[in-house]
Amino acid sequence: MMGNILKMQSTLGSSGQPVQYQLPVGEKLLPMNEGIGKTIKLSYQSEINCIACGRKTSKSFGQGHCFPCFRSLASCDMCIMKPETCHYAEGTCRQPEWGDANCFIPHYVYLANSSGIKVGITRSTQIPTRWIDQGAAQALPVFRVANRLQSGQLEVVLKQHVSDRTDWRKMLKADAEPMDLKSIRDQLLDECSLQIADINSEYDQGDIEAVDEAVVDIRFPVSEYPEKIKSLNLDKQPEIEGQLMGIKGQYLILDTGVLNIRKFSGYNIQVDFI
């Protein structure tokens, strides 16, 4: 199967079953779980198409964009990575209509256990996809807020006590040890109560709501974890081949190394199971 790839689509498994993955290749979806244990070959066809506008580009920016789109799209702005720096109110949003549809909708602040405890934020529409993409074994919503800026402000407070990053190498070497996320949440809320109250006072009642939901457990389809992590790169190695040992986050775990599929969104790839 050959075509431009995008990040893998995922579905949370039910009743302890692992996440189900499909790889978009051109106009088709390639089931990936059934390939675990088989040899997979990925051949880069020396062509990249921007995932936003479709134009050919010699280099990918921001996980699949051409440079003009990377510079102009609101989805590529720095405030997406640092939502507390949202500048919509200043009238400088690159695409106000995009901001209305994507930033001014309910967001969640959550705790996740991937390579250890971390705090993160996501749109309500991206649950549980965001947690799966980060390779989280557990996740717990903490706050439901009215917009992205508010979620970023709360994240800044909480990340003074827990990380806001995933150690991807550690995440790919083993299953995360289970943690009592609710106890960790309660301790964080107690430690940060004054700062959270200050943020809450700036907004209308109901904009920021603490939630008490169940911990979400996530299993990934991995038959064997690598002892050492070797990162594979299609720009440096146009043909990658190896036995598919598992999938976690957006990574293919091969016996020859690990490949971050999302990084190569827009690349024209021939994908074969041998």
Model pLDDT for residues 156-211, shown as the tens digit of each residue: 999 999 999 999 999 999 999 999 999 999 999 999 999 999 999 999 999 999 99
Same domain for 115 and 190?
yes
Q: Mean of the per-residue pLDDT values for the chain?
A: 96
The model carries a pTM of 0.94
Smallest CA-to-CA distance from 154 within 122, 113, 180 is with 122
Same domain for 133 and 185?
yes
Looking at 192, 217, 242, the residue that finishes a domain is 217
In a domain, residue 78? The reply is no
* Dist CA 69 CA 65 (whole Å): 6
Containing structural domain, residue 30:
2-64+221-273
In a domain, residue 102? The reply is no
In a domain, residue 90? The reply is no
In a domain, residue 117? The reply is yes
Domain count across the chain? 2
Model pLDDT for residues 93-141, shown as the tens digit of each residue: 999 999 999 999 999 999 999 989 999 999 999 999 999 999 999 999 9
Smallest CA-to-CA distance from 110 within 210, 192, 220, 256 is with 210
Smallest CA-to-CA distance from 197 within 154, 144, 163 is with 154
The token duo for 189 is 């809320």
Same domain for 212 and 117?
yes
